[in-house]
Structure 1
Amino acid sequence: RGEEKEEDIEEKLKKTRKKDKKAGGKKNKEPYPQKRLVSKPLMDTLWTTFKLNKCLTRRKSLLLAFEFSMTERQINQWFFKKRKKYNREMDKQKYKKIQKR
């Protein structure tokens, strides 16, 4: 019986290897990278600049990226997501005001 189990295991391994080759070998890779933990000073700075101005200039985004060792794209994505969330909330509030009338 021990031999049968080993043969079954080997066959299963061969099948999974074939599937992995067809899938491009992406079995162990996560679809999205883990979220990066952001420091408190960075969050404070980003929120204050967001409150002052919803859209960044290229110069300001480059300065923030350099200051916090991030890429300009990461900074711009953060602002894009916050603007989107902010606009959604504002639309909800407008809709509620219309409903109350």
Structure 2
Amino acid sequence: MNNAFLAKICWELIDKPDDLWASLIWAKYDLDKNPYLTHWTANYSNLWKNLAPMWSFIRENIIHRIGNGLNTLFWRDVWLDMDQPLIELALPTSDVGNTEAKV
């Protein structure tokens, strides 16, 4: 299967866990108790056999859920994997403009 498609499915499992199909996957593979399940056995579905490697990649690389952006400050929130806000990484000569700008 296409990796971009698998990544999209993984993201939708995280973003929309209450959708019927997603809740079935969460329940079948008990992802609430084991959110990093990356293995599979012969009785697992073909879908999960393809999703399992991508699931691990997606879960490990999610830093901050931006959502609609209304609650994420571009310059002041730590929303990238840098352990500090972007404003602390900006060059001293940079004009950051509105430091309260939303994503």
| TM-score, reference length from structure 2 | 0.31
Which structure has the larger Rg?
1
Determine which structure has the larger helix proportion and give its number. Answer: 1
| TM-score, reference length from structure 1 | 0.32
Q: Using CA pairs below 8 Å that are at least 6 residues apart, which structure has the higher relative contact order?
A: 2
